[in-house]
């Protein structure tokens, strides 16, 4: 049985996807996943992820900016370290709530635990998000 882990971040006001991505990149994150940029712009619930050259980041962020925030979910894969540990960052409609889905080379707690090491992820994401009006964090790890 596969486990899933995610972190939900809630903000006081809507956040701008390009600004969030750029701040994460400035903080050392990467959008290079297996040599490509993986993203989704979803308006129909099908979540058809696309993979393009990393150099297309500005085009992807431009499309995300031009999409209707109240009806579109924007997602992008983000790598948080040199071992390719990361996940998918989803901007939910309205852009007041983001989810980080721990999907790429998940880090678990030590000593063979099956539970996600949320502290590791929070240390890398929270400082960036806190400066943008972060008001709530919710964690979920389940089978």
Query: Which 3-state string (H, E, C) describes 120-140?
Result: HHHHHHHHHHHCCCEEEEEEE
Please report the pLDDT score of residue 143 as a whole number.
83
The sheet with strand 37-42 has its strands ordered as 50-52, 37-42, 73-79, 86-91, 97-104, 4-11, 134-142
Give the model's confidence band at 122: pLDDT under 50 very low, under 70 low, under 90 confident, else very high.
very high
Give the model's confidence band at 43: pLDDT under 50 very low, under 70 low, under 90 confident, else very high.
confident
Count structural domains, the chain.
1
- Percentage of the chain beyond pLDDT 70 is 99
The residue range of the domain holding 60 is 4-142
Q: What is the mean pLDDT of the chain?
A: 95
Per-residue pLDDT at 71 exceeds 70: yes
Give the model's confidence band at 1: pLDDT under 50 very low, under 70 low, under 90 confident, else very high.
low
């Amino acid at each position: 049985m596969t486990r899933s882990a995610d972190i939900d971040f809630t903000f006081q006001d809507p956040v701008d996807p390009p600004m969030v991505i750029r701040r994460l990149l400035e903080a050392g994150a990467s959008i290079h996943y297996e040599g490509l940029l993986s993203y989704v712009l979803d308006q129909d619930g099908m979540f058809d992820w696309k993979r393009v050259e990393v150099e297309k980041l500005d085009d992807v962020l431009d499309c995300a900016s031009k999409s209707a925030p109240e009806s579109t979910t924007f997602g992008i894969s983000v790598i948080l370290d040199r071992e390719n540990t990361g996940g998918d960052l989803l901007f939910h409609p309205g852009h007041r709530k983001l989810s980080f889905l721990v999907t790429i080379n998940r880090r678990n707690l030590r000593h063979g635990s099956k539970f996600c090491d949320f502290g590791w992820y929070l240390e890398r994401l929270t400082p960036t998000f806190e400066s943008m009006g972060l008001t709530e964090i919710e964690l979920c790890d389940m089978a």
